[in-house]
A = this chain, B = another copy of it.
Amino acid sequence: MGLGGATMDERVPRDFETLRATILERRQSLPKRIAQIAAYALDNPDDIAFGTAASIAASAGVQPSTLIRFAQQLGFDGFTSLQQVFRERLRERNSSYDERLAALRAKAEEGAGHRAIFDGFVAAASTSLSDISRTLNEPHFEEAIALLAKAETIYVLAKRRSYPVASYIAYALGKLKIRNQLIESAAGLNAEMVGFATPNDAVIAISFSPYAPATIEETRAISEQGVPIVAITDSSFSPLAQFAKVWFEVAEADFAGFRSLSATMALAMALTVAVGEKRRDTGRKRKV
């Protein structure tokens, strides 16, 4: 009776996510002070896990008894059983990303098997993604998008290791119906292709150390025609950087002598789709 019927009809949330969902769902119908605790609990789950009822109540600005009523209203016996859920969350939480990566990499480096090779590449890719996510220069990103969005034709320029990225960009641009030209080396007509570019176009050039001479040379040539260049490379000392209007420095981790492409790929895809979106927004779409 005294507990407002909450004890009998509800099943008690055993895991944090269910608990969270339950709280959010009932948020509107909770009394003021109870809601106050509910908000505090979701905002400071660690405090709930470690604190005492008194300390938590004080931090949340309520009485300890309110905290217990909150727990009971959710179907728990009392504060202690509620706290268990918050502790379980910390317990079951996977070890940190860095710890996991370090483990993968350690396994890859000392372990000899083929699985270790696989783990090594996964670790390298994850590291690269994590790095670029942290270090991406947003103003440069916006500038590159703007620059590419107003291009009539986007030329894509990359050889050897970077070529897969270029071919993917070309594929994605095509799907987005953005006119583009992949500068491949096959036919030996690159110089002529490059010659068609005008300042109204734009170039995405990709090259990593050791920089393919052909990429450098073609980039230089095309920049002399006044075509704006977006470069994706691995250092600001890259020969590509001097020709580029905007450049991205992407640090890819490597394994077994092969560098990852995951960060470059993610950046390339993001650039491509962002350009597509920008064009749609500004009504300049379908230049094909």
- Chain A residues with a Cβ under 8 A of chain B: 46, 49-50, 87, 90-91, 93-100, 104, 114-115, 117-122, 125-126, 129-130, 132-133, 136, 138, 141-142, 145, 160-161, 163-165, 167-168, 171-172, 186, 255-256, 258, 260-262, 265-267, 269-270, 272-274, 277-278
Contact = CB atoms under 8 A, between A and B. Distances in A.
A272 to B, nearest CB: 8
B164 A270 contact: no
A129 B260 CA distance: 12
22 contacts: A46-B91, A90-B90, A90-B91, A93-B95, A93-B99, A117-B277, A118-B136, A118-B274, A121-B266, A121-B269, A122-B133, A125-B129, A163-B167, A163-B171, A164-B164, A164-B168, A164-B265, A186-B186, A255-B269, A261-B265, A262-B262, A262-B265
Q: Chain A: interface secondary structure?
A: helix
Contacts of A163: 167-168, 171
Given A97-B100, A129-B126, A163-B167, A121 B262 contact: no
A84 B91 CA distance: 15
Nearest to A114: B274
Contacts of A120: 270
Contacts of A138: 115
Contacts of A255: 269, 273
Contacts of A142: 114
Contacts of A121: 266-267, 269-270, 273
B125 A262 contact: yes
Given A114-B278, A115-B136, A262-B266, 18 more contacts: A49-B90, A50-B87, A95-B96, A96-B96, A96-B97, A117-B270, A117-B274, A121-B270, A121-B273, A122-B132, A122-B133, A122-B270, A126-B130, A164-B167, A164-B171, A168-B261, A256-B273, A258-B272
Nearest to A146: B114
A179 to B, nearest CB: 18
Nearest to A166: B164
Given A104-B133, A167-B164, A269-B258, A141 B118 contact: yes
Given A96-B94, A145-B114, A163-B167, A125 B266 contact: yes
Contacts of A132: 122
A268 to B, nearest CB: 9
Of the candidates A50, A165, A269, the one having the most CB atoms from chain B within 10 angstroms of its own CB is A269
Contacts of A165: 164
Contacts of A94: 96-98
